[in-house]
Amino acid sequence: MTDENLVRTPLYERHQQLGAKLIPFAGYEMPVQYTGIIAEHNAVRQQAGLFDLGHMGQVDVSGPQALDYLQRITTNDVSQLVPGQAHYSMLPNPQGGVIDDILIYRRPGGDGYMVVINASNHARDVAWMKQQEAALALNAGVRDISDETGMIAIQGPNAVAITKTLTSDPIESIPYYAWDKASVARVPVLIARTGYTGEDGFEIYPAIDQATTIWDALMAAGADKGLQPIGLGARDTLRLEARMPLYGQELSDTISPIEAGLGWAVKLDKGDFIGREHIAAIKEQGPKRKAVGFRTTERSGAPRTHYPVGVNGSPVGEVTSGAFSPTLGENIGLALIEAESAGVGKPLQVEIRGKWIDAEQIKMPFYKRPGA
């Protein structure tokens, strides 16, 4: 079953050569697994994994009024970013829901910003950002640079050591949520100490025509350190264990950042921004729904997105993401439930194939890497 309209990243041939199982994802033909989701998940936690992220989008925002513009259209405080620093944020809609979750990187020279957006929201985000630039009459220089920008992640306990063999730049000194220019495998890149796995490592941004060079160099450099290519299947189980949200599941147009437990990425005091009043009201009154983490306490299949969640047989919400956790060896999940039922230690049930399965609400993240 192929769809000729699917886009391929520059690394498509590599995925084919590695025997990847390819699936449609956000309009792209992407690897969901190579050897197996559990083996790949474990490789990232124990050694290192390499991810093709060519499907994600990048938007340059470097005009003279870039800062004012980004402050208005995002929830986090962009004025806090020093050159070379990054933060997690969201694009709110006027009703206080979320259009997308994003990373904003302030360029190392201080001259502008790069916003990284989800593949699934690429067209919508760019249209919204350009529309707001015009509506706010701010010269922000919004430019979609996805077609020029490659993106590859290397994550895991050996990720930094592997990457270090390909550069003489002090990349090991780049702090968490910072980035810098470097030369990796003699390719000029921006290299960021960010990721979506809960492990140490980098997200690397070469020019798009150098993506294959970076991939090949890392695969060779990592061969004796257990580096494996990692598909979207393990990407999902890794981020869930680290309690990282996935847009479309934990976040949506009708879920507030406050309900989603992401109020830490909302800075109401930074000044006015889209949806601010609605978000502030929910924060002040207390959200009616809350995101909670849980584990099942009796033997069952995995909890999955949209499965009903209840207390004493009465529905209180639904699962937003759930899976068998390879690292923990048990079923875990995130659910959005009525606030009165939320609380670590409180009971919960998940409906799996017509049966209420016992679960308990637990502290998050489900997994924290040693030393973090």
Partner 1 sequence: MSNPSDLKYTKTHEWVRLENGVATVGMTDYAQGELGDITYLELPDPGTSVSATEPFGVVESVKAASDIYAPVNGEVVETNEAAVGSPDVINSSPYEGAWLIKVKLDGDGGGALMSADEYATYLEEVAH
Could you list the residues that contact partner 1 (CB under 8 A)? 1, 21, 32-33, 36-39, 233, 237, 300-302, 304, 323-324, 353
Q: Pairing state of beta strands 187-192 and 201-206?
A: antiparallel
Closest distance to partner 1 from the beta carbon of 326 (Å): 8
Closest distance to partner 1 from the beta carbon of 260 (Å): 24
End-to-end CA distance of the chain: 43
Annotate 40-61 with b (16+ C-beta within 10 A) or e (fewer).
bbbbbbebbbbbbbbbbbbbbb
Closest distance to partner 1 from the beta carbon of 324 (Å): 4
Element (H, E) at 201: strand 201-206
Closest distance to partner 1 from the beta carbon of 45 (Å): 15
Closest distance to partner 1 from the beta carbon of 327 (Å): 13
Closest distance to partner 1 from the beta carbon of 337 (Å): 23
- Under DSSP, the state recorded for 251 is B
The residue among 102 and 238 lying less far from partner 1, judged by its C-beta, is: 238
Give CA–CA dist 70/77, Å, rounded. 9
**DSSP structure string for 15-80:** HHHTTPEEEEETTEEEEEESS-HHHHHHHHHHSEEEEE-TTSEEEEE-STTHHHHHHHH-SS-GGG
The residue among 38 and 265 lying less far from partner 1, judged by its C-beta, is: 38
Residue 353 CB-half CA count within 13 A: 3
Closest distance to partner 1 from the beta carbon of 192 (Å): 28
Closest distance to partner 1 from the beta carbon of 225 (Å): 23
The residue among 21 and 346 lying less far from partner 1, judged by its C-beta, is: 21
Annotate 259-268 with b (16+ C-beta within 10 A) or e (fewer).
bbbbbebbbb
Phi, psi of 134 (to 5 degrees): -70, -45
The residue among 5 and 173 lying less far from partner 1, judged by its C-beta, is: 5
The residue among 306 and 363 lying less far from partner 1, judged by its C-beta, is: 306
Token pair belonging to 326:
């390879």
The residue among 34 and 105 lying less far from partner 1, judged by its C-beta, is: 34
Closest distance to partner 1 from the beta carbon of 38 (Å): 4
Residue 32 CA, chain-centre distance (Å), reads: 16
Closest distance to partner 1 from the beta carbon of 315 (Å): 21
The residue among 263 and 301 lying less far from partner 1, judged by its C-beta, is: 301
Element (H, E) at 211: helix 211-221
The residue among 36 and 271 lying less far from partner 1, judged by its C-beta, is: 36
Give CA–CA dist 164/154, Å, rounded. 12
Residue pair 337/317 in contact by the 8 Å Cβ criterion? yes
SS3 content of the chain, % helix, strand, coil (to 5): 25, 35, 40
Q: For the chain, how big is the Rg over CA atoms in Å?
A: 21
Give CA–CA dist 100/104, Å, rounded. 12
Q: Pairing state of beta strands 227-229 and 48-52?
A: parallel
**Cis, bond preceding 257 (omega within 30 deg of 0):** no
